[in-house]
Amino acid sequence: MSKNSSDISNKISRYLQIIVFAVLALSFIALIFGVEAYLMGNGTVAIYLILIGALSMGLAVYVLYQSRKRVEKLKTEDTKVMTTIECRKCKTKDLREFERGDFVFKELGKCDKCEENKIITAIYKEIKNKEKPFTI
């Protein structure tokens, strides 16, 4: 039903992913070379390599984070719609997920306990993330 509301092809671009991971790998190599240069006593080269490595790694992570955030923004909220079924005579109440064809005051089959017709008394959606209340 409404579950597939966010199944839209809004994934992060494959090309972007390849570029980001390539940059990550290169920056990792730059960091390793930087450490190696430091151990060999070549201080200036080490600082440049570590700086370049750290900067590009930070940039790659930031780009990845931003694209994930964009995809999250594109997703729409999933809602679950429930149907309440009641027996007017014995007052039994059932709750199930909405099915196509349901409508409020629709008569359904006989009640298991009292043979009276069951009726749909309410159809409503359940909100997962309720709005933050502003107490002012």
Between CA 112 and CA 108 the distance in angstroms is 12
> To the nearest whole angstrom, how small is the minimum distance from the Cβ of residue 59 to another protein?
18
Sole window of 20-28, 32-40, 46-54, 99-107 interacting with another protein (rule: CB under 8 A): 99-107
Residue 4 structure tokens? 């597939």
Interacting residue with another protein among 24, 52, 114, 123 (CB under 8 A): 123
Cβ nearer to another protein, comparing 24 with 59: 59
* CA distances in angstroms from 79 to 5, 57, 82, listed in the order given: 9, 38, 10
For residue 52, give the DSSP letter. Answer: H
134 in contact with another protein (CB under 8 A): yes
Q: Is 49 exposed, middle or buried (0-12, 13-18, 19+ CB in 10 A)?
A: buried
Sole window of 26-34, 45-53, 89-97, 117-125 interacting with another protein (rule: CB under 8 A): 117-125
Residue holding tokens 């984070």?
65
User: For binding to another protein (CB under 8 A), which residues are involved?
Assistant: 1-2, 5, 8, 10, 70, 73-74, 76-77, 79, 81, 98, 100-106, 122-127, 134, 136
